[in-house]
A and B are shown apart, each in its own frame.
Chain A
């Protein structure tokens, strides 16, 4: 079965500390992986996708097919990073398929 697991419901760190939001997935084929973010009172928005290999707002994520993981990392957390983060996958190249989301991790960055 297709599944995305985010083991941490809440991650609290201090400003300037490194951040790693964990995401593991279960999918038999070739998925495309995403991180979405929802800041307070804002809509869900795409943060980054694995195929683009970009760094957005200092965040990076590497797809590890062996460990079926797609952890989100940032070396130095900022208070404005506080938000809800969702990992999601979709089957690669297939029309009509869903984004499958994890339950989300709340990141709280305090000074």
Chain B
């Protein structure tokens, strides 16, 4: 099993652009969550999807959106990028949307906005 895979690993964008980040969960995992980790901070919750439906949303502006596909992979989209969006974006998968079993994290996508 390849684990949780994220792409790309790094990217650089200009302010105002939009970006799409991708995540493939562990085989059999139907829930995908997205987290933003700014340098020096713990990860912060952005979204959770389960069975292609949004099940939870963190305190992020509407510029952030996501979706989950029938194969349970997921995309995170960020529009009108700001310098403050520079961060490591983590994807985590789990069997169910109930977090008690813990999450398996991907290696993340490092986004730099210039």
List A residues at the B interface (Cβ < 8 Å). Answer: 4, 32, 34, 36, 43-46, 49, 51, 86, 88, 90, 92-104
Contacts and interface: CB of A to CB of B under 8 A. Distances in A.
Interface stretch (B15-23, B77-85, B95-103): B95-103
Contact of A98 (B56, B101, B102): B56
A56 to B, nearest CB: 12
Contacts of B33: 98-99
A69 B41 CA distance: 20
B42 A86 contact: yes
Contact of A97 (B41, B99, B107): B99
Contacts of A100: 45
B58 interface: yes
Q: Which residue of A32, A46, A90, A96 has the most chain B CB atoms within 10 A of its CB atom? A: A96
Interface in B30-70: 33, 35, 40-45, 48, 50, 55-56, 58
